[in-house]
Structure 1
Amino acid sequence: MKGFGTDEKTLIHVLVSKDALQVDVLRAAYKKEHGRDLIADIASETGGNLEEVLLAMVRGPLAQDCHVLRTGMAGPGTDEEALNDVLLGRSNADMAAIKACYTKTYRRNLEADLKSELSMKTERLFLMVVAGTRAESSAPVVPQQVEQDVLEIYKATEGKTGTDELLVCQILSSRNDAQIGAIAQLYEQKYRRSLEAVIKAEFSGHMERALLHQLRTGTDRAGRDASLLEDSMAGMGTKERLLLNRAVRAHWDKTHMQRVKAAYRAKFHKDLGASIRNETSGDFEAALLGVIGE
């Protein structure tokens, strides 16, 4: 590539060292100097998983989130993990930006696409989520509200025959992270059972995974992301696109990435970098190691 040379290692080094703002500046400078689009040039000069990592970096966090959503809903089937990773646990400002970018980029409505891909109560959950009506992060933890939420969740799950799924969805989709953390703590104190265990017992499938994602965002975000990275490498074969999307998403917040790596080491008794080396190779391995700061 003109301006970078054809050395993939140079491309990797240049791109993984940039934050989101610097990437935008780089794209503009490349366009001004060469009269070419950096994304188009990377797509023409690279391929496979390396191309996907580099394009994810050049798109930046918002456009990449929208790309993951659209890819996850295009064609037959639905990539449920993509929907969970991008949409769950986000702030209202994030959600507004994602919806606007999705519409601008693809000339499609995110809510309409979710309705076409999901059904029944899982569809209702995601429509609650994309409505963007969570308590703001600045909203306080009010003990009386926490007690009420804990009681409502108990009555909707363990305290009745059957489960009122939508009530649990409504609570976890409308509270901020600190409030969810307080709910989880009080629930375990009061009923001697973790809320995570309750969700695993009372829900299944996509709904279970989505609610656990929301819960873990409030109780241990770094641990959540460490587990998601491990899940993308565990078992037979590595889910490479899932791995790279999750690694790149964590990459944009350097402090959070360090917390994720520490949580990964604590939970799985191995280093994230070592796992990536074991599961990938070549330029893809080098790019992912750069993404996680190694």
Structure 2
Amino acid sequence: MSGYPQYPPQGHSPQPPYGQPPQHPQGSPYPPQQQGYGPPPPQGQYGAPPPQGYPPPGQYPGSPAPGYPPQQQQYPPPQQYGQPPPGQYGAPPPQQYGQPPAGQYGAPPQQYGAPPPQPYGQQYPPQGPPGAYGAPPPGQYGQPAYGAQAPYAVPTPPTFGYAPSQLPQVPSDAEVTAIEKAMKGFGTNEKELIRVLSKPDPAKMNSIRLQYSAKYKKDLVTEIRKEVSGYFEQGLVALVWGPLTHDANMLYSAMKGLGTKETVLDDVLLCRSNADIKAIKAEYQTLFHRTLEADLRGDLSGATEQMYMMVVAATRNEDSVPVIPQEIDRDIAELQRSLGSTVNKDPVQFCHILTNRNDNQLRAIAQGYHKKYQKTLDSMIKSRFSGHMEDALCLIIARSLDRAASDAAQLEATMAGMGTKDKLLIDRVVRIHWNRQYMNQVEAAFQAKYKKTLINRIKGETRGDQERLLVACVE
């Protein structure tokens, strides 16, 4: 991704003990948040979603914060500490092809990146957007070649909690004291730990962890592991780590020992912004003193390995890159060609397209493919691929079409059938809970699809402190 400095490793403090979260210094060289530009195209065109269903939520994590010209923004906004920056974590992406009209689905017009009204005659940057009337064809006269990252693309900012600049120190004395009191002496007050640790946002949790260490000269994760055990311990530790360190530890655990938990790799890495992928790679190397790419190559092979190398290369189109119908048509034709048959398909090219397009482009591709061939792209993937590759490619399509509905389905998958996948359920609930607004979207999608509330579903599958912790994260 051009224009984005490497994240960090030089911005990290000396490496912490093995397996413990790094201490992020203030003033990390992370780029200021920038915002996209350009008015939304007419609604109801190429790639627009069907009227029914949920409005496609913003990319989560890592939604863009549109608006032109680019503006700098501090985290969190002074007037509402604890809320993620506008345009992040499930906020709607810029209104492009494939977006619902402003004001529908309960969202007020001009919200989350609807660009300010433009004076008569004011247009895009010189020569207009690629594909516009009078603009040179892509790949000519200095315009980007087909599939290349546009030079005017504004980098999608990192998800809240994935950059040190988003984690200012805030007073957390009351929480720190309550945590120590809950673990001091004989026995543990589990309900108090749940009350204190289930609600902070990433910046607040980072402050609690650092201030606990400074006040009591002890590591909070180590102390929690001494006091509790089992899935309850794993849930509390995931919360204390914060989203970035939790992601890195999940990846390491998924590849540690015999076998690979491919589902965890999918959960953490697919459809992430370039900024998030770079942050995760840097954190992984800081914690485990090895590169994420090397560990993926050691655990995967063939087309699956190549697909993940594309993902962690962080070359996905930024969310500000528009949907251009001519390029969508070429992508659809190339996907159809690369599908071939079960014996002569081209999985590498197929994966290249799906891993390098942004959500709006993928949504337009899926809808255009269905319109042209009268078959869903998802069904064609299932007919040509199997195993982990099938699951990964279908998840990319599902997340681009409706992220909240996709996450709701993943939560149900951890509880459906015989037995509950407790660790996977904990990890998925914790990942979603960092943004309360997005959690509400997932709850609504879950109830609409399964005709029961997410909380009641969790209560029916879990017990004790684990149940109380998960319910507290969802509420």
**Aligned position for 2:5:** none
Q: CA deviation at 1:158?
A: 5.5
Gaps of 5+ in 2: 1-178
Q: CA deviation at 1:167?
A: 1.4
Q: Tell me the residue number matched to 1:258.
A: 440
2:340–2:346 CA contact under 8 A, matched in 1 = no
What is the match of residue 35 of structure 1?
217
2:320 match: secondary structure:
coil
| Residue 3 (structure 1) shift | 3.2
- Match of 1:136, SS? coil
Find 1:49's aligned residue among 208, 231, 238: 231
What's the counterpart of residue 2 of structure 1? 180
Does 1:268 pair with 2:446?
no
Percent identity between the aligned chains? Answer: 44
1:245 and 2:245 aligned: no
Choose between structure 1 and 2: higher helix proportion.
1
- Which residue identity does 1:262 align to in structure 2? A
CA offset at residue 162 of structure 1?
Answer: 3.1
Q: Which residue of 2 aligns with 1:281?
A: 463
Taking the TM superposition and a 5 Å limit, the aligned residue runs for 1:78-97 are 78-97=260-279
Indicate the residue corresponding to 1:236 in structure 2: 418
Q: Hey, what's the Cα distance between the residues in 2 that align with 1:76 and 1:185?
A: 40
CA distance in 2, matches of 1:288, 1:76: 29
Question: 1:2 offset after TM fit, Å?
Answer: 2.6
How does 1:209-228 map onto structure 2 within 5 Å? 209-228=391-410
Q: Is the 8 A contact 1:65 1:98 kept in 2?
A: yes
- 1:73–1:79 Cα contact (<8 Å) kept: yes
Q: Give the superposition deviation at 1:201.
A: 1.1
Q: Is the 8 A contact 1:226 1:263 kept in 2?
A: yes
Larger C-alpha radius of gyration, 1 or 2? 2
Deviating runs (4+, > 2 A) in structure 1?
1-6, 158-162
Distance in 2 between the 1:185 and 1:255 partners? Answer: 27
Equivalent residue letter for 2:474: I
Where does residue 201 of structure 2 map in the other structure? 19
Contact 2:404 2:442 in 1 (8 A): yes
Query: How far, CA to CA, are the matches of 1:176 and 1:231 in structure 2?
Result: 26
The AA in structure 2 aligned to 1:2 is: E
RMSD: 1.3
Tell me by how many angstroms 1:251 deviates.
Answer: 0.9
The letter of the residue matching 1:113 is D
Q: Is the 8 A contact 2:232 2:469 kept in 1?
A: yes
Contact 1:125 1:170 in 2 (8 A): yes
Q: State yes or no: 1:193 paired with 2:371.
A: no
Aligned with residue 123 of structure 1, among 305, 326, 342: 305
Amino acid at match of 2:180: K
Q: Unaligned 5+ residue runs, structure 1?
A: none
| Alignment correspondent of 2:246 | 64
Q: 1:158 touches 1:198 (CA, 8 Å); kept in 2?
A: no
Query: Between Structure 1 and Structure 2, how many residues are aligned?
Result: 293
One-letter code aligned to 2:255: M
Post-superposition offset of 1:159 = 7.7
1:139 to 298, 316, 321: 321
Kept in 1: contact 2:238–2:246 (CA 8 A) = yes
Single out whichever of 36-45 and 55-64 deviates more from structure 2: 36-45
CA apart distance, 1:217: 1.6
Structure 2: how far apart are the matches of 1:282 and 1:265? 24
